[in-house]
Amino acid sequence: MLLANRVAIVTGGAKGIGRGIALKFAEEGCDIVVNALHIEGARKVADEVRALGRESLAIGADVSNSAEVNDMVDQTIKKFGKIDILVNNAGGITGAKEGAIEDTTEEDWDRIVGINLKGQFLCCRAVVPHMRKNKYGKIINVSSMGAIHPPAPIVHYHSAKGGVLSLTSNLAFELAPFNITVNAILPGPVRSEFFNEMLKDMSEKEGEAFFTMLDKRVPMQRMGMPEEIAGVALFLASELSSYVTGESINAGGGLPLTPRDDVGTG
């Protein structure tokens, strides 16, 4: 097993990419702390982890709140005695208005940047002392393809995800002497609960048309699945990537390359 006897915190682990990563890591021998804003979702995934034969702890915490993040890390150390892996996956744009910069409120900016960038900073700050003490750690920050190739004007979200890339390179430089690697994943469109907010006012037929449109934007002509992003995270969390740090890996089916217009013509 690639992660035997490791302990990982996965933020935003109740659904989508986070759930996929938590279960993939558990299959490879890792004990999992499942974080989510709402404890009920975290508990469901923690139960799935236990069904795979691994230990799990569900913690409801807002990653943009330093006190809640520090308590999550304290609970992890109390139960497992160490933190080997941190996956900063929590994020999203729920409740935020898309559109031009002049239509972006200061309140939305602060909230979205808080969830998607400040939260990763707070989680890193809380776990690094424990990793440095053990001279071992794997930090995986989930950014977005939109950080470098925005598909729509969502300035607060894409700016925050761009900040994640800078956080990643800075921490990789700082922590390399302590055998702590820091890398980022930039998912392209992934078929998951991330799109629930956009789909809530669509019919089932309109929703499928929306996903078909996203499929066609990808060079591989399909959206990704959470378990495919989890496979990239597994590489970065395991010793397969022992000499890799400060990297940002695109996981978008070929994006940001432009889809071919001759598909199927032979």
Q: Do 232 and 185 form a contact (C-beta atoms < 8 A)?
A: yes
Spatial separation of the C-alpha atoms in residues 125 and 201, rounded to whole Å: 39
* Beta bridge partner(s), residue 180: 137
Residue 243 annotated as catalytic: no
Cα 263 to Cα 242: distance, rounded to the nearest angstrom: 38
Angular region, 246: left φ>0, alpha ψ -120 to 50, beta rest:
left
Catalytic option among 121, 157, 194, 195: 157
CB-CB contact of 119 with 63 (8 Å): yes
Amino acid letter, 165:
L
As given in the structure block, the two tokens for residue 59 are 């913690």
Q: Which residues are known catalytic residues?
A: 157
